[in-house]
Structure 1
Amino acid sequence: MGTGAIAGLFAADLGLLPQARIAAVHSRSQDKAQAFADRLSATAYDDETAFLADPAVAAVYIATPNHLHAAQALKVIAAGKPVLIEKPIALKSGDVEAIAQASRERGVFAMEALWSRFLPAVRAVREQLAAGRIGDVRRIRADLSYAHPQEPGSRFFDPVLGGGAAFDLGVYPLSLVLHLLGEPQAVSGRWLAAASGVDLRSEFRLDYPQAVAELSCGFDRNGTNRFLIEGTRGALLIETPFLKAQRLSFVSDPVRASAVYERGQGLATRFLDRIPKAGRRSEVFAFPGHGLQFQAEAVMAAVRAGETRCATMPLSESAAVLRIIETVLAQPPAGRG
């Protein structure tokens, strides 16, 4: 459901999975649906009911604007079809709870498409933390920022469409922290408002018994987009851009790792980062395509096993991420950008 940029990337990555194919495409515009479907030898629909009734559709991927995700997910579940819902799964944590309830009651699979959790490099991070490679985690730092001009009609800044940096970008670092550390004991933060009223930049602090996570996201700049995990015996650094994690570095000195995390992203820096150095070892986890195929594989495996949820990306953590965003955005903005 949906024919935008992310739908195109997902369709391309499904081509890497021999057991997957696209049977049908839905858009509110028949012309857009047909143009997308023609590239895939699929059936085009502009009617949701007919699309969901197509027996060739075994599961549905929702890639529509943010504000449509929750309602469409409930319709898919009501039709008895497994559903993968693009991030953010909803704009309110309560809507995620409604999706989870419908999934349980109908016995239908549902999951948020937070694809970064399924990347090989992120799996390696989990394994290395479990093995104690950096000791006990003490701090996580991450920023995900891409500059977008505040232009009229931009979906990034439209409150009706679910715009704002937290929904578009913040879900990535927040979700990864919960994936690694679980839900925090306390949440705080601040945000700056764009002219439209949505958050131009948001900052989050998550407190744990022995650790803290300091995260930020924004449309006001191009950030270094790294993800740093500091421990008592070293640090793990997911290199730029961490949401597409392909390069993971172990740094024996957390102070040095912090300096690497903070420096810019010029060509010289990227070149120097690839030169082997004492106390720093890097692993490359390259993959074909855009990385969306790994979450698709997980959905396929879960559905074939008769599961209604995915342990790697449970709906409870999707709701928890939105509760964190709600907590911070409920405060008055710290300023305007």
Structure 2
Amino acid sequence: MAQTRRPVRWGLLGTGYICSEMAKALALVPDARLAAVGSRDLERAQAFVEPHALAHPDVRVHARYQSLVDDPQVDVVYIGTPHSEHAAAARLALTAGKPVLCEKPFTLNRNEAVGLVALARERGLFMMEAMWTRFIPAVAEAKRLVDAGEIGEVVSVQADFGVASTLPPKHRVFNPALGGGALLDLGVYPLALASYFLGPVSAAQAVAQLGTTGVDVHTLFNLRHARGGLSQGLCSLRTPTPCQATVYGTAGRIDLQAPFFHSEHLTLVKPGQAPVERHLPRRGMGYAHQVAEVHRCLQQGWLESRVMPLDESVALMGWLDSMRAQIGLRYPGE
């Protein structure tokens, strides 16, 4: 008789929108179970659990982050707090001996990222930045096609992510104390995509418009990559953009149809040939695929993902720091 594998029990640290999406994603992964939710407000934690009760019965609620990470019924902690709290929350979980999936951006800056990675490695614990787009089927297939040489040598990537935000000025995306701004909230998507297909970044140039709260609301950046490739990214809280991405090679291109960050369609275009369309459905909004990656890594005994390695997360935080310096955005306490 085949042995049944015990579900991986997740604890969500945070009760915002992204944690709600993660709760939905966990319900789509057969060996995942939402075991506990932590908030600084017990009533808020209880209210968070209610709409997920059918998919996740018997979820424990904690009114302190510390009690969540200390919960013996939690195997992995997902960090879904505002950006400014990522490092402290992840450190809390790692110190308690729990593997961590930390929402992007990984931390507020490179120094925080370096400290977290050092702690995870010192403790021998798994940790990964929640760069979920890398794991959706369309992006995974695009990477397979690139690695197979279908578009020749990759020379460039272009991607954009813009919305016309109607959120109030006090919302976290506009709050410098919470790590707000288009670059850290949306720009991480085109940045990470470019790094995935072109390899390490070696230089970055950024220009931006700053809003009334002091954070960037519209940012453009150009990147040079160590292997010679070039990429361009745009992120905006002022205007809706197509949210498309294209990977250009010497023998063709791959278009990830909008919105590229959770696309279900790609088009392979080669000169003199009919475009090849591929439909690659994702599970839910797409977060379930990164959950499956965490499970795979834990089952293999790996301390980090080969697809989203820790050193790359640290490097990308460094380039975000560099671009913020260029546009004049410094967060409180830095």
TM-score (norm 2): 0.89
Which residue, out of 265, 275, 283, partners 1:288? 283
Which residue, out of 304, 307, 320, partners 1:309? 304
Asked if 1:146 is matched to 2:146, the reply is no
Match for residue 322 of structure 1?
A: 317
Asked if 1:279 is matched to 2:274, the reply is yes
Q: How does 1:228-239 map to 2 (within 5 A)?
A: 228-239=246-257
CA distance, structure 2, for counterparts of residue 13 and residue 93 of structure 1: 29
Cα deviation per residue 1:20-69 (whole Å; 9 max; x = unaligned)?
A: 11111001110011122342320100112222221100110111111111
Question: Post-superposition shift, 1:185?
Answer: 2.3
Q: Which AA in structure 1 matches 2:135? A: F
Cα deviation per residue 1:62-94 (whole Å; 9 max; x = unaligned)?
A: 111111111110110000000101111111111
Give the secondary structure class of the aligned counterpart of 2:289: helix
Asked if 1:219 is matched to 2:237, the reply is yes
Closer, same or farther in 2 for the Cα pair 1:326/1:253, shift >3 Å? farther
Closer, same or farther in 2 for the Cα pair 1:253/1:244, shift >3 Å? same
Q: Which AA in structure 1 matches 2:41? A: S
Match for residue 53 of structure 1?
A: 70
Asked if 1:180 is matched to 2:192, the reply is no
CA distance, structure 2, for counterparts of residue 151 and residue 123 of structure 1: 36
Percentage of matched positions with identical amino acids = 35
Match for residue 4 of structure 2?
A: none
Given that residues 154 and 197 in structure 2 are in contact (C-alpha distance below 8 angstroms), is that contact kept between their aligned partners in structure 1? no
Match for residue 5 of structure 2?
A: none
CA distance, structure 2, for counterparts of residue 333 and residue 279 of structure 1: 46
Asked if 1:300 is matched to 2:295, the reply is yes
Question: Post-superposition shift, 1:150?
Answer: 6.3
Give the secondary structure class of the aligned counterpart of 1:160: helix
Match for residue 242 of structure 1?
A: 260
Match for residue 8 of structure 1?
A: 20
Question: Post-superposition shift, 1:333?
Answer: 5.3
CA distance, structure 1, for counterparts of residue 328 and residue 94 of structure 2: 37
Aligned length: 311
Give the secondary structure class of the aligned counterpart of 1:325: helix
Asked if 1:17 is matched to 2:12, the reply is no
Asked if 1:103 is matched to 2:120, the reply is yes
Q: Which runs of 5 or more structure 2 residues have no equivalent in the other structure? A: 1-12, 330-334
Match for residue 45 of structure 2?
A: 33
CA distance, structure 2, for counterparts of residue 207 and residue 136 of structure 1: 15
Calculate the aligned-residue CA RMSD, in Å. Answer: 1.6
CA distance, structure 1, for counterparts of residue 169 and residue 188 of structure 2: 24
Give the secondary structure class of the aligned counterpart of 2:207: strand
Closer, same or farther in 2 for the Cα pair 1:51/1:298, shift >3 Å? same
Given that residues 175 and 317 in structure 1 are in contact (C-alpha distance below 8 angstroms), is that contact kept between their aligned partners in structure 2? no
Match for residue 117 of structure 1?
A: 134
Give the secondary structure class of the aligned counterpart of 1:327: helix
Give the secondary structure class of the aligned counterpart of 1:108: coil
Q: Which AA in structure 2 matches 1:250? A: L
Give the secondary structure class of the aligned counterpart of 1:192: strand
Question: Post-superposition shift, 1:253?
Answer: 4.3
Which residue, out of 43, 60, 63, partners 1:43? 60
Q: Which runs of 5 or more structure 1 residues have no equivalent in the other structure? A: 255-277
Q: Which AA in structure 1 matches 2:306? A: A
CA distance, structure 2, for counterparts of residue 152 and residue 330 of structure 1: 22
CA distance, structure 1, for counterparts of residue 163 and residue 302 of structure 2: 36
Cα deviation per residue 1:113-160 (whole Å; 9 max; x = unaligned)?
A: 010011111111111111111111122111110111363312211001
Q: How does 1:65-84 map to 2 (within 5 A)?
A: 65-84=82-101
Given that residues 15 and 45 in structure 2 are in contact (C-alpha distance below 8 angstroms), is that contact kept between their aligned partners in structure 1? yes
Given that residues 190 and 329 in structure 1 are in contact (C-alpha distance below 8 angstroms), is that contact kept between their aligned partners in structure 2? no
Match for residue 196 of structure 1?
A: 213
Given that residues 226 and 242 in structure 1 are in contact (C-alpha distance below 8 angstroms), is that contact kept between their aligned partners in structure 2? yes
Q: Which AA in structure 2 matches 1:288? A: R
CA distance, structure 1, for counterparts of residue 128 and residue 92 of structure 2: 14
CA distance, structure 2, for counterparts of residue 64 and residue 326 of structure 1: 20
Give the secondary structure class of the aligned counterpart of 1:134: coil
Given that residues 142 and 226 in structure 1 are in contact (C-alpha distance below 8 angstroms), is that contact kept between their aligned partners in structure 2? yes
Give the secondary structure class of the aligned counterpart of 1:303: helix
Higher mean Cα deviation, 147-156 or 321-330?
Answer: 147-156
